[in-house]
Amino acid sequence: MRKLIMVLGFLGMIGHIVPVSWAQDKPAAHQSPYFQVAGKEGVEQFPLLGTKVHVNIAGVVAYVEFIQTYKNEGNKTIEAMYVFPLGAHAAINRMQMKIADRVITAKIEEKETAKNIYETAKNAGQIASLLRQQRPNVFQMNVANIMPGDMIEVTVHYTELIVPQNSTYEFVFPTVVGPRYNGEVKDPEKENPWVAMPYLRNKEEVPYDIDIEVTLNTPVAVDEVWVPSHNVTVEEGDLYTRVKLSEEVQGGNRDFILRYALKGNQIQTGLMLYPGEKENFFLLMVQPPKRVEVRDVPPREYVFVVDVSGSMNGFPLEVSKTLIRNILNDLNGKDYFNIVFFAGGSRVLSPYPLPVTPDNIRQAIAMLDSQQGGGGTNLLSALTHTLALEKKEGVSRTVVIATDGYISVEKEAFDMISKRIGDANCFTFGIGASTNRYLIEGLARAGSGAPFVATDQREAQQLAETFLTYVSWPVLTDIKVEYRGFEAYDVGPEAIGDLFAMRPLIVYGKYKNPEGEIVVTGNTAGGPYRRVIKVTDYKENETNSALRYLWAREKIARLSDYASVGMNVKDQVAELGLKYSLMTEYTSFVAVDTVVRETGEVVTVKQPLPLPQGVSELALEERGSFPQACFKSVAGSLSLSRNDMAAAPEVKAESSHLVAGNGVFPQGWTQDRFDTLIDPVKSKLEDLFRKWSLKKVTLEMKTDSHGIIWLKVAGFTGKECHQADLTGILNQVPLPQGYIRVVLEYR
């Protein structure tokens, strides 16, 4: 009879490139997105007939009118529910509902009050619409009592600030909400029921029309305008430029991105003043100094956190690989780096920072290229592991996160970064044609970094170079704003982080008197910076009324969107929403028709959404676990997660038993307890020993509450041995926490 002898002892951390599979987070039963299935006969399954978007950009402010048309072509009365995105900074300030020739202006109410008004009207047989915020960039429209033959229009109005970067202006209109992973939410049914939305399969056409028209009214003539995301027609007038979306079958499955530059690459900066009836508002936009490059750039440590979940499978992951590959190849020889891959679990390239050498970069790229994408998106778990990684002493750390952002725990992620990142910076890359920009911008904001969005591989290549420039040579640091003789109050942001991009410094606020001056100071690589703005050089203008909405939206963002988890800001945010007639997390718009009708049974229909362009159907089919082909080690051997190994085919083992002798265990552990712990995986370990003709193997590892952090095969006697497979098996049991030396001998 052969026996497997196990001897344990503790030791210090060993330094090698070690592909590691961390503990797989167990998938929870939760509400998730799903594919559209056939509904009841006679019930309209696609009530959204179409959307029209009219945008007027005047100077640096976009005024948007967003019209949704619903029609019931079935024979039963329905309630339509539609989840849709808007910009994370959109200040929604008005809503109207049109039924035939009747127009009802919606009222802004406290969230629960609005819901009660809507439900009462719904039960009474009245047509009603309710607009709620699920996230700062995700909204839900409910329209009740749409009887057969009814056509109803709901119009939403919002304003948004257009901020240039590198002399280029960009307006983005998101068209679809990507399928959100809900696995890290404690109580998804209560917190995020909107996530459980139906999606169409990739080959199905978008069942509604989308029409977008943008009119540019700029103080300086437009030099160039382009739309990389869609086919458009451009009409140029003497005082305007109009851009119209061409007819596209699948135009509603990706962000509409419009970019333009003014003659001479000019940008509009300065001070905008709005004299209100009770309050005055200002907006300051200061163009930063030109970037100063320095020759002696200090070394940095880069930790790349790469999303390889199901929604990243295929095209998005290839974009991400292009991005990370280009950054790795351009790192300075004095730098250090590491990579964390995550989906339903996490995996790290090395237990400690690696120096930038040709061999290390080659092995990192090989590991990167082996990723295939599958499983859930456990970002919080990945961030926990990332922030616990060993840091290179005396070197500044930069965390780089590449993801499509399809999660529902944004605030928890912001909280973790802001509280635990220390003096490091966090830069983010949104990957794909319809990324969650709220997450991408919020993580960068929490980590005092900058956000990027790469929609394709061409942009990924360009952004890789831009990113390294930003990190190496910030435009302006240690920024301070001082008001002299200008009585400003309720100013935001309260603290201004370093400016990495060539984009204006922006400050919102209220003021009492249009006089005095504003002084902006900071440091550049070339020395101190100082800029004085004289308030009297700018006139108050009543056409700047959008400033009150933009100020209130920014105030709400600071209080609520990016606030710490658990902070009670409901009353403050609701008060702002009601005072300035703004959509918030705690206020909603509700419109009710006065006509009461006999509706009969009302069937609730969730409007199906298209999958964003390039997103695999794995985004819905694999939630919470890695497929077996997801992770491969640098050497090409498969590294399986805990759940994958548990599901792998099992070969019947020969009669044998496992003995643990001469063990040194963590405090509280005994010989008998450890024997009981490893009993479920004994047969799998023996199967590997027989398969590899192993007689003995020495393993070194470090573990924590999540499982194995890193593992190394220090030596073995036999034909072959793959550490990834051993990691996968040992990760199926809750090992004692600490540094462990394990000698496995098969007798």
The tokens describing 276, both together, are 């209100």
| % of the chain with per-residue pLDDT over 90 | 59
At residue 625 the predicted structure's pLDDT band, cuts being 50, 70 and 90, is very low
- Position 530 scores a pLDDT of 95
- Position 576 scores a pLDDT of 97
Q: Cβ–Cβ contacts within 10 Å for residue 235, how many?
A: 11
Mean pLDDT of 488-511: 91
The tokens describing 334, both together, are 């004095």
- Position 662 scores a pLDDT of 54
Mean pLDDT of 643-652: 30
Mean pLDDT of 585-597: 95
Using one digit for the tens of pLDDT, what is the confidence trace for 429-446? Answer: 999 999 999 999 999 999
Mean pLDDT of 395-424: 93
- Position 656 scores a pLDDT of 47
Using one digit for the tens of pLDDT, what is the confidence trace for 664-684? Answer: 666 666 656 666 677 778 778
Please check whether residue 43 is in contact with residue 65, taking contact to mean a CB–CB distance below 8 angstroms. Answer: no
CA dist 714 and 700 (Å) reads: 7
**Highest averaged pLDDT of the listed ranges 487-501, 505-519, 637-651, 698-712:** 505-519
| Residue 334 CB partners (closer than 8 Å, separation 6+) | 298, 299, 356
Cα–Cα nearest to 496, from 466, 535, 527, 529? 529
DSSP labels, 94-151:
EEEEEETTEEEE-EEEEHHHHHHHHHHHHHHTEEEEEEEEEETTEEEEEEEEE-TT-E
CA dist 206 and 210 (Å) reads: 9
Using one digit for the tens of pLDDT, what is the confidence trace for 251-262? Answer: 899 999 999 999
Per-residue pLDDT for 636 more than 70? Answer: no
CA 667, 670, 674, 676 torsion: positive or negative?
negative
Output the CA–CA distances (angstroms, integers) from residue 713 to 17, 107, 215, 744, in the order listed.
Answer: 11, 66, 63, 11
Cα–Cα nearest to 104, from 90, 92, 118? 118
- Position 649 scores a pLDDT of 30
- Position 734 scores a pLDDT of 81
- Position 621 scores a pLDDT of 61
CA dist 703 and 600 (Å) reads: 61
CA dist 439 and 405 (Å) reads: 6
- Position 538 scores a pLDDT of 95
Of the two residues 44 and 452, the one the predictor is more confident about is: 452
Of the two residues 213 and 295, the one the predictor is more confident about is: 213
- Position 345 scores a pLDDT of 84
At residue 410 the predicted structure's pLDDT band, cuts being 50, 70 and 90, is very high
- Position 123 scores a pLDDT of 95
Cα–Cα nearest to 28, from 160, 156, 192? 192
Please check whether residue 134 is in contact with residue 153, taking contact to mean a CB–CB distance below 8 angstroms. Answer: no
Of the two residues 216 and 37, the one the predictor is more confident about is: 216
CA dist 535 and 471 (Å) reads: 33
Q: What does pTM read for this prediction?
A: 0.80
- Position 704 scores a pLDDT of 73
